[in-house]
Amino acid sequence: MELFETKEKIDSYIKLCKQEGKVVGFVPTMGALHDGHLSLVKQAKKCCDVVAVSIFVNPTQFNDPKDLERYPRTLENDVKLLESVGCDIVFAPTVKEIYPEPDTRQFNFGYIGDIMEGPKRPGHFNGVAQVVSRLFDIVKPDKAFFGMKDFQQIAIIRSMVSQLGYKIEIVSCPIIRESDGLAMSSRNRLLTPEH
């Protein structure tokens, strides 16, 4: 498994894969990986020749600085987990690498951005679209995999893909749950039993 921290390094590697005609699958994550993420990697492995996973806690999608600060970061363990499921490439950039200058793009998702999580987390979906489009530009995947736990996020990403004209297949994958039925999420580790 290859671990890259810079755009230049991952770019050269992806270029080689493309020259060899390989289908590149991509799973964007913010780390603190669990079986839900690993199921996306396993799904990607079934239909792609090379699977890349990004681990990047994206500041532009947090509207609460405290939430950003306490978001779990477990890079060492994440890398081990990814290796165990046969991931080929891990991309773990710094904030400066992804945002050498601030991203001022404002997307318009219309109705799908204005309902449900939209009004509760102002700017969140815009930040998701910013980072996912930047990651798509770097990784240049043929297919990208997202969990249906974040159903509205998938709709937003499909809209962003169509607005920006990417030729990337967005594959939505089933929710993976804990034994008590709770959908797996990196934030679950911040919950107490009462929560």
Nearer to ligand PAF, 30 or 48 (CB): 30
Residues 158 and 82: their CA atoms lie apart, in Å, by 26
Nearer to ligand PAF, 16 or 178 (CB): 178
Least gap, CB of 29 to ligand PAF (angstroms) = 5
Catalytic residue of the set 34, 37, 124, 195: 37
Least gap, CB of 54 to ligand PAF (angstroms) = 7
What residues line the site for ligand PAF (CB under 6 A)? 28-30, 58, 61, 128, 131-132, 150, 153
Least gap, CB of 20 to ligand PAF (angstroms) = 27
Helix (H) / strand (E) element for 169: namely strand 169-173
Nearer to ligand PAF, 3 or 68 (CB): 68
Q: In this structure, what token pair is assigned to residue 15?
A: 């270029």
Q: Is 96 helix (H, G, I), strand (E, B) or coil?
A: helix
Residues 141 and 48: their CA atoms lie apart, in Å, by 10
Let me know if 34 is a catalytic residue: no
Q: Burial level of 13, CB count in 10 A (0-12/13-18/19+)?
A: middle
Query: Active-site positions?
Result: 37
